[in-house]
Chain A
């Protein structure tokens, strides 16, 4: 889950072709989190390193999006803080975040509510996505929703990963809070992994 490989600031600028000014601007705006700036001493003094995979994918995203979105909006997308956003179920459907069938399924499990908070929208979004892709069936969606909800309570806002497993056709799922490793019985097959932080980003982008 965590990749320990690191990249120096100099190599990062070289590979991504961005300038110091851009890097510092993105740092100021919170687009690149403070924790990713890892300082190490070297023979020339201090050098800064970054978690390689995460920073490269983040910069790729910033470069692809910055044309049409302001940096401040972008900062919200990457913020791990859950949005204060609430939407009515109809609006979630209207904005094409969840299909109307998907929303109906979600409401069958959770009852009818007037407003959905960000976590609820995210759960509905994940459910909709997996069912639409044919990865899981209706009843299986129900246990997934339960795991998502339990995970939310257990891990709070921390990023986590949800594993979907099938063994002899029987579905199961569980959530893991990284860093963590798992080991499974040979007959079981992982049919999907959901990274909640990535989903959150994806969803926020749709909601801007």
Chain B
């Protein structure tokens, strides 16, 4: 461990350090920081743990990371896997790999590639998922784009301006579907979906309400309430359709 005069914290190899305010925090190898950390730049290359809250302008986890508290980051990027026991706030969150969040996510722009499990609500201006997500609460975003691959995504409720749920165009092959046999289940499941412009594929929902609604292939929906245009294509199954 080496703490330089200008307030950098660097752990090379393995070690632990106390929290505090730093300019740059870098863990190369395996490191543990006890307490809260406030810094301009935060990097984990390898594996790292923060036992308190992490506040940073620019955070990046390459490998695996655990934060026992909350993350507040202007920019937060996770390549690999991360477990956040608290919530995440900030301007942008980008995940390639997997992430678990114990509380709510309140971030302007959320981009998920891989899998995400979020226990609380999600608030965002844009929410984009390539892969799968599982969230128990409300997904509230202005613009939601979901590309479904081979496993199920789930949200308690979805409220939005615009939502587009579609089957991913790339990454699908017969070979792949054989490999994932038995688990191949590319659907989005939600209790209710409400929004202005709604386009859905492979979506299973109890209620879908909105202004303009298009339901495409693979949809199974109990009740649709629409105000403007409504269109059903492919093999979508809808029990009740109501114009409000």
Do A and B pair up? The answer is yes
Question: Of B160, B207, B222, B244, which one neighbours A21 at CB under 8 angstroms?
Answer: B160
Q: Does A177 contact B (CB under 8 A)?
A: no
Among A25, A28, A45, residue most surrounded by chain B Cβ atoms (within 10 Å): A28
Checking A19, A20, A44 against B206 with a beta-carbon cut-off of 8 angstroms, the contacting residue is A44
Is A24 touching B194 in the complex (CB atoms < 8 A)? yes
The residue on A at minimum CB distance from B223 is A44
- How many residue pairs link A and B with beta carbons under 8 A? The number is 48
Residue A10, interface by CB 8 Å: yes
- Interface flag for B159 (CB, 8 Å): yes
Cβ contact of B192, chosen from A21, A27, A46, cutoff 8 A: A46
Specify which of B123, B159, B222, B223 is in contact with A20 (CB 8 Å cutoff): B159
B140 CB contacts on chain A under 8 angstroms: 24, 27-28
Task: Evaluate contact between B223 and A21: CB separation under 8 angstroms.
Answer: no
A interface secondary structure, majority: helix
Those of A1-20 within 8 Å (CB) of chain B: 10, 14, 19-20
Q: Which residues does chain A contribute within 8 Å of B162, judged by CB atoms?
A: 21
Interface contacts beyond A24-B159, A45-B206: sample of 18 additional A-B pairs, CB < 8 Å, sorted by A: A10-B244, A19-B161, A19-B211, A20-B194, A20-B209, A21-B161, A21-B195, A23-B159, A24-B140, A24-B194, A24-B195, A25-B161, A27-B159, A44-B206, A44-B222, A46-B157, A46-B191, A46-B192
Interface residues of B (CB under 8 A from A): 123, 140-142, 157, 159-162, 191-192, 194-196, 206-207, 209-211, 222-223, 225, 244
Which residues of A are in contact with B by a Cβ distance under 8 Å?
A: 10, 14, 19-21, 23-25, 27-28, 44-46
